[in-house]
Amino acid sequence: MEVLQPSPVSLTTASALRRSSSKRKNRPHQQRPPRRTHDDGSAGGSGISYPKSSPTPLLIGRGPQAQTREQLLEQVLSDLEASVDRGVSIGPREFSSLLETCFELGSLDHGIRVRRLIPPALLRKNAALSSRLLRLYASCGLVGQAHRLFDEMPQRHRNRAAFSWNSLISGYAEVGMYEDAMALYHQMEEEGVGPDQFTFPRVLKVCGGLGSVVLGEAVHRHVVRSGFSHDPFVLNALVDMYAKCGDIVKARRIFDKIAHRDTVTWNSMLTGYARHGLFAEALGLCRVMLRSGVDPDPVAVSTILAGTFSSKLGAEIHGWVLRRGLGGNLSVGNSLISMYAEHNRRDRARKVFGSMPEKDIVSWNAMICAHRRDKRALSIFRQMEESAVRPDVVTFVSVLSACANMCLVQEGRELLAAMEDKYKIKPGIEHYGCMVNLLGRAGLVDEAYRVVKAMQFDGGPTVWGALLFASSLHGNVTVAEAAAERLFELEPDNEHNFELLMKIYREAGRWDDAERVRSMMNKRGLESSYSYDQVHE
């Protein structure tokens, strides 16, 4: 068996791979404390020894040198595969180092390639290696495979430390499987595995996802018993959990006890206030935060902008955004557009949109929605198409709504057809509701009824309600009766539908039918705003 020795090239490349900045996928900012290692290379709070990243003993090809960390990983892995094909023996240290890099880059494809090269026997007996692979699977959303690997690990290995448990709990939380994550936490307790400072932030995130303050309080008590009540990562997670569960008072109480608050601490409290509509408190805290020399992150700024109750206040926040250099942030720009549109400052929204260095589908949708009451919505939609940005279901709701507001029948017909023919998007209830509204406003009630009957699903109260309203505008009794009959089944306690049909009958001079509808309401215990005399007047 050939044994490959490190070469100067491999050492240089591996060092660059370790030094270059990590380009991780976006993750919730407050939930992932940085990994700590001790001098022996073991993970903090863990009894298992994990090797430090070290030069992988692989000969890198002499071709063009890679420039990015992903390219470096590809070079190293390609050479590893070639080496294994030649019968080279690769040790667990090298595999572990590569899996660590795959995890840092969020590169599942490369991780799977590494996994194929690891001998099954080595994976079974090496706890550190299987734990690294499990963490990669879980972080990339493959929780099923991660759990299978977890179950295959000898119990003495997986229960030696919380590392594998933490990875799996985090994986379930990331994909929204909060009940499974919580069950794993309880299993961890039952098997006598001691949680560490990395366990609790993950479990508290699960409690926040479930919105259960009762579970959160139970975990909080466990935090205190375990001696982590002063850990900054755990405290930040507690603030975030209580805020998400609606206990703002307790969240603020913990926040006030934290001596050294970082950006995560402030942002958790800030978004907690904003999420529950306490925008005055959020803005007050934001000012204190700025005086403390800490800047809110783009997520917090966007959350505050979403609840800004005046354009003057929004402009003040906009000024701060520009002074802090956040004007080019995509999320903040989109929130500014929506905020100005909400306060009918479309000129400001257009200015923000024009200054954005990058635009996504949310940016274009926000602009179309902002102009849904004038013809600019259609021109913005055309610009969007010309910019090679593919419209989505939200785009078509906004642009069809604009057509309905301006009674642009032909344009609406063409857009509805383009949804399916050009963009292969099946219209939903909202789109048909807009179309029925458009045709109804234009007096084309019979065509609107044909559209509803041609739908491949029941329109629900949204579509049938729009059809009934259109019938009342234009006195179409036949269509009104069909729409009302369906609405009486869908919303038997909605007196508005009964009264609208009664109004249509009255205006058509059909007094007996109007009285019949009023009697139906009485039998169902519904009150009518029409008196007996009004029905027969």
Distances (CA, A) of 121 to 87, 125, 130, 151, 239: 17, 6, 11, 16, 44
* pLDDT recorded at residue 52: 38
Q: Look up the pTM and report it.
A: 0.62
Report the C-alpha dihedral over residues 68, 72, 75, 80, rounded to 10 degrees. -160
DSSP-derived letter for residue 67 is -
* pLDDT recorded at residue 11: 35
Burial 134-157 (b: 16+ CB within 10 A, else e): bbbbbbbebbebbbebbeebeeeb
* pLDDT recorded at residue 529: 64
* pLDDT recorded at residue 330: 94
List, as one string, the DSSP characters of 217-283. Answer: HHHHHHHHHHT-TT-HHHHHHHHHHHHHTT-HHHHHHHHHH-SS--HHHHHHHHHHHHHTT-HHHHH
Using CA atoms, how far apart are residues 235 and 255, in angstroms rounded to an integer? 8
* pLDDT recorded at residue 160: 76
Question: Taking a C-beta distance cutoff of 8 angstroms, is the pair 98, 77 a contact?
Answer: yes
Residue 468 CB partners (closer than 8 Å, separation 6+) = 480, 483, 484, 487, 497, 500, 501
Pull the structure tokens for residue 512: 């007996």
* pLDDT recorded at residue 58: 43
What's the start-to-end Cα distance of the chain, in Å? 104
> Cα 479–482–484 angle (5° rounding)?
105
DSSP-derived letter for residue 176 is T
Using CA atoms, how far apart are residues 10 and 75, in angstroms rounded to an integer? 10
Question: Taking a C-beta distance cutoff of 8 angstroms, is the pair 396, 433 a contact?
Answer: no
Is the CA virtual torsion 184, 189, 190, 192 positive or negative?
Answer: positive
* pLDDT recorded at residue 468: 96
* pLDDT recorded at residue 374: 87
Long-range own/partner contacts, residues 440-443 (CB < 8 A, 24 or more apart): 440/466, 440/467, 440/469, 440/470, 440/471, 440/473, 440/474, 441/404, 441/407, 441/470, 441/473, 442/407, 442/409, 443/473, 443/474
CB atoms within 10 A of CB 102: 26
- Where residue 403 falls (left for φ over 0; alpha for ψ -120 to 50; beta otherwise) is alpha
DSSP-derived letter for residue 18 is H
What is the identity of the amino acid at 439?
Answer: L
pLDDT of the chain, 537 residues: tens digit per residue: 333 333 333 433 444 444 443 444 444 333 343 333 333 333 333 333 333 333 444 433 334 455 688 888 888 888 888 888 888 888 888 888 889 889 989 888 888 898 888 888 888 888 888 888 888 888 888 888 889 888 888 776 677 788 889 899 989 998 889 999 999 999 999 988 889 889 999 999 999 999 999 999 999 999 999 999 999 999 999 999 999 999 999 999 999 999 889 888 998 998 899 888 888 888 888 888 888 888 888 888 887 888 777 778 788 889 988 988 888 899 999 999 999 998 999 999 999 999 999 999 999 999 999 999 888 999 999 999 999 899 999 999 999 999 999 999 999 999 999 999 999 999 999 999 999 999 999 999 999 999 999 998 888 998 999 999 999 999 999 999 999 999 999 999 999 999 999 999 999 999 999 999 999 999 888 876 655 445 445
Q: Closest Cα to residue 55, out of 79, 25, 86?
A: 79
- What is the three-class DSSP state of 171? helix
* pLDDT recorded at residue 440: 95
Tokens 């019938």 correspond to 471
* pLDDT recorded at residue 183: 94
* pLDDT recorded at residue 505: 95
Helix (H) or strand (E) holding 429: helix 429-441
* pLDDT recorded at residue 220: 96
Using CA atoms, how far apart are residues 331 and 336, in angstroms rounded to an integer? 9
* pLDDT recorded at residue 307: 73
Pull the structure tokens for residue 77: 């892995």
Question: Taking a C-beta distance cutoff of 8 angstroms, is the pair 248, 276 a contact?
Answer: yes
Distances (CA, A) of 175 to 107, 125, 164, 170, 273: 17, 29, 17, 9, 25
Question: Taking a C-beta distance cutoff of 8 angstroms, is the pair 497, 506 a contact?
Answer: no
> Cα 376–377–381 angle (5° rounding)?
115
Cα 89 to its chain centre, rounded Å, is 43
